[in-house]
Structure 1
Amino acid sequence: MTKALERREKLRLELIQAAERMIATRGLAGLKTRDLAREIGCANGAVYNLVADMDELILRVGSRTLIRLDETLSLAVSAGDLSPREALVRIAIAYCDFAAENLQLWRALFEHRMEADKVVPDWSVNDQMQLFRHIYQPLAALFPERSPEELGITARSLFSAVHGMVALGLEQKLVAVPLPALRKEIATLVRAMIDGLVGRAA
């Protein structure tokens, strides 16, 4: 790699890190090109020599968030010999805790909308889909007779239920739920859903 490319990659990483810090403190709406350029010491227009547009920059930050979430979920089930049911409970609680500890970055994953004529690039989709293995694998152990397609649907349904509880529970309005109570309710929900699925399969 040439010196010029090395400098560009270094500045590009600094830009992504600056955007990450800005989203973490201000939320997605507080991400401003002018402020980013000033923070990394370049002209406003130079930002778009480092990334194609703000969509790419936000998705790059999102990928970093997803990598840390992936590590968090892996760690949640790394200790002890857990049953698939309890592994799913641990994963759900770890997801809740990660969202609470990284609230603005977590919200940005779901608040960001691409322009109508643009598609999410494959690398970003892959980063998102990788996370479903944490749910898919315990479900496959619980329901070995189900097809991959059926397991995929169940995994997405379980995620949607937990995500909905987390999103509403962490909302800083009337529906807010204290974190310890939210963690307990999420565990109850996941156990109830799995018990219901097992009972229906039987």
Structure 2
Amino acid sequence: MSTDERRRRLREALVDAAERVIAESGLGSLKARDLAREVGCALGAIYTVFPDLDTLILSVNSRTLALLDKHLMESGGIGPKAGSVEEPGAATQRLVALANGYLGFAAQNRHRWQALFAHRMADGRPVPDWHRAEQMRLFSYVEEPLRALQTNLPDEDRSLLARSLFSAVHGIVSLGLEEKLTSVPLPKLQRQLELLVSATAHGLKDG
């Protein structure tokens, strides 16, 4: 086996192990020494395939974003066929479906979802461009139906609006699922999301 192949296998084994820890116990339970023990390598070997633990965590979060991306696509992320115009009512329904899809993913993958927002790069370093691009893709699901509601809104303003709406939905989901506060049953959370998103969409409609 070549050195490159050994490194590739070690890298995959470490990401798999880190993913299991985060999914089962949360980001705070992730320890480099425990990972090395689980995959059967020396502690220092981790840093021959990852420059630091942050990059390993981002690799796990990248997998989580891919799962969330797929979940949102199945929840309502597919827009109308190219060349067709989406009706405002359909756009509103799609936004509601996306919000509830986001809630469903967060509820079913609590630790993985929390790790997306709990992780901070060491020493205040910026998030790498490749990972930021993966994060930005999620906003595109919100931007598309917003285009049907605000047809004349400049692209930059639509992008900012998509982030604001995502932040509002995320806030409701986060507080509703937070065990330190009074948790809210999922059906009630869904209803709150439907009210928020529908009211926002109604206020945004042209004319």
Q: TM-score range by the shorter chain?
A: over 0.9
1:57 maps to what in 2? 56
Unpaired runs of 5+ residues, structure 1, are none
Match of 2:181 among 174, 184, 187: 174
CA shift for structure 1 position 80: 9.9
Unpaired runs of 5+ residues, structure 2, are 81-88
1:45 maps to what in 2? 44
What one-letter code is carried by the residue in structure 1 that aligns with 2:14? L
- Look up the SS of the partner of 2:173 in the other structure: helix
Query: How far apart are the structure 2 equivalents of 1:35 and 1:60?
Result: 18
1:23 maps to what in 2? 22
Q: TM-score, normalised by structure 1?
A: 0.93
What one-letter code is carried by the residue in structure 1 that aligns with 2:35? L
2:35 maps to what in 1? 36
Q: Does 2:183 align with 1:184?
A: no
Q: Does 2:154 align with 1:147?
A: yes
TM-superposition CA deviations, 1:43-86 (whole Å, max 9, x none): 11111111111110111111000000000001112689781110
Cα 1:48–1:79 shift into 2, 3 Å: closer
Among all aligned residue pairs of Structure 1 and Structure 2, give the percentage whose two residues are the same amino acid: 49
CA shift for structure 1 position 116: 3.2
What one-letter code is carried by the residue in structure 1 that aligns with 2:20? R
CA shift for structure 1 position 184: 1.5
Query: How far apart are the structure 1 equivalents of 2:76 and 2:196?
Result: 18
Query: How far apart are the structure 2 equivalents of 1:126 and 1:42?
Result: 32
Query: How far apart are the structure 1 equivalents of 2:14 and 2:7?
Result: 10
Task: Work out the number of aligned pairs and report it.
Answer: 199
Per mean C-alpha deviation after superposition, the further-off stretch among 167-176 and 93-102 is: 167-176
Match of 2:168 among 161, 164, 167: 161
2:85 maps to what in 1? none
Q: TM-score, normalised by structure 2?
A: 0.91
What one-letter code is carried by the residue in structure 1 that aligns with 2:51? A
Q: Does 2:98 align with 1:87?
A: no
TM-superposition CA deviations, 1:128-152 (whole Å, max 9, x none): 0011110011111221101001101
Cα 1:106–1:78 shift into 2, 3 Å: closer
* 1:65-80 correspondence runs (5 A): 65-77=64-76
Cα 1:42–1:27 shift into 2, 3 Å: same
Q: Does 2:109 align with 1:102?
A: yes
Contact 2:77–2:94 (Cα < 8 Å) also in 1: no
CA shift for structure 1 position 117: 4.2
What one-letter code is carried by the residue in structure 1 that aligns with 2:146? L
- Look up the SS of the partner of 2:125 in the other structure: coil
Query: How far apart are the structure 1 equivalents of 2:44 and 2:77?
Result: 45
Query: How far apart are the structure 2 equivalents of 1:151 and 1:136?
Result: 6
Q: Which consecutive segments of 4 or more residues in structure 1 shift more than 4 A?
A: 78-82
